[in-house]
Structure 1
Amino acid sequence: MTRETLSLGGRIAMITGAARGMGREHALLMAERGADLILNDLDAEALNGTAEECRSFGRTVTEMACDNTDIPNYIRLIGEHEAQHGRVDILVNNAGIQGNKYIVEEIDEEIWEAMTFIKMKATFFAARAVIPGMKKRKYGKLINVSSIFAMEGSFSMSHYTGAASGVLGYAKGWARELAPWNICANAVAPGTVATDLTINSMGWDVIDEFEKSVPMGRLADKREIAYAVAWLASPESDFVTGQLISPTGGQTIVGI
């Protein structure tokens, strides 16, 4: 890998769910590698914090704070920001919500919609909004953030598993449909990542025990997942489409 082929200089990337956690990490790494950014999240204050950090790399960053499940408004804002920047070269569909555990009988319509609307509906319509411009320029990168649960399933989280599987399916379908326009569509399915949310929800005792089941003996660092996403956004992956990258430390070998 060379600095040139990993560089995102001159590219415009839109990242959803960018205020904190993995979305923030994707934004920081892409800014570090030269991309100008459109950052999206529901939390305007936290989003501004991420944006300011990205601007410290000398990048142009615009903030798009909104409810992604309000589809008409979401599409309108994407269009406005795309017009402001001139284009969107890279879309990282990262936004989602914490997958709380419910057995099937406990998942009512409200719980199902909260998960599915942000992960599947908003993901689809964000891509739908930027694809026409990508087709016109004959270039684009669509990257959906899925989960190891899309491959392994999970106990008491079938709504989350279904949504994670859905965005993987989108990537494969888009890859097939959009290849003639030189648009790549891929997915990244991380294992368990050491974020503040993970640590607070699991606790260190549970994490210590969980790490024993990971062949590499630890959780992923946020930057390790961001490297995979940034690679898919870079020229290094221009012939890679319809694929799933799963940085899990070997969890997919042994199951979860």
Structure 2
Amino acid sequence: MPSPDEAIHPVATGRAAQTVAAHEAPTADGNGLVFYSGWFCPFVARTWLALEEKGIPYQYKEVNPYKKEPEFLAISPKGLVPAIKWHDKPLHESLVICDFLEEAYPGTPSLYPKDPYDRAQLRISIDTVSKSFLPAFFRLLQSQEPEKQAQALEEVYDALRKWSAPLVGPFYFGEQFTLADIALAPWVARFYIVEQHRNFRASAVGDKFVKWCEAVRARESFKSILSEEKYYEEIYARYLKDEAMSEAAKATRAGRTIP
């Protein structure tokens, strides 16, 4: 039986649709970077933000990862987005791709602070997002019992308080927008879902975090990759009922690490 997620809205909308339209043609710079995306995916948004921030030419290709089409599986063996092809070489995993873009395009704006200590802090911040925030966030979305929702909400707050403790403002390391921001920023566009349905409040994390969210929302790269909210709501309605069939949802349901 096909997954209900296969029927996801097939294309980006709103500002994101305009960005897609600007990147439909093959690149003219000879690098042949192809960005395999799912407009709806927060992990995709990390890579998309990096591409836009660095101003790297890319060709956008929309993929429905739930269909597991053989052509895409040859690029991303797990069938997950995002993925890229660069000089016909495939690469997948959002943060791995962001690191690659940083090294492959040294003449573009850096996503890393210059100070080596700050770079180490950046890696710690990403670890907090990956190991603490994301598992708690998906448990918050998918839990059906009020007591489990309340527990997951506190875990989300704890993770975000830990993440934001070193936050300088407006972004993680001050004025520079870095991978520390990019690793978490896509969920800012999804907080309204847990605000409406799970009592999440950014103010419970702290004033610094609220101001960071505001700065992220005002960032042009962030605004340029957003689709209309109603299409996100269709997707997250399945998470809220614990019916989503994404790999993250299945891992959360089974108590496994999010892939």
- Fold shared per TM-score above 0.5: no
Bigger strand share: 1
Larger relative contact order (CA 8 Å, sep ≥ 6): 2
Structure 2 length-normalised TM? 0.32
Structure 1 length-normalised TM? 0.32
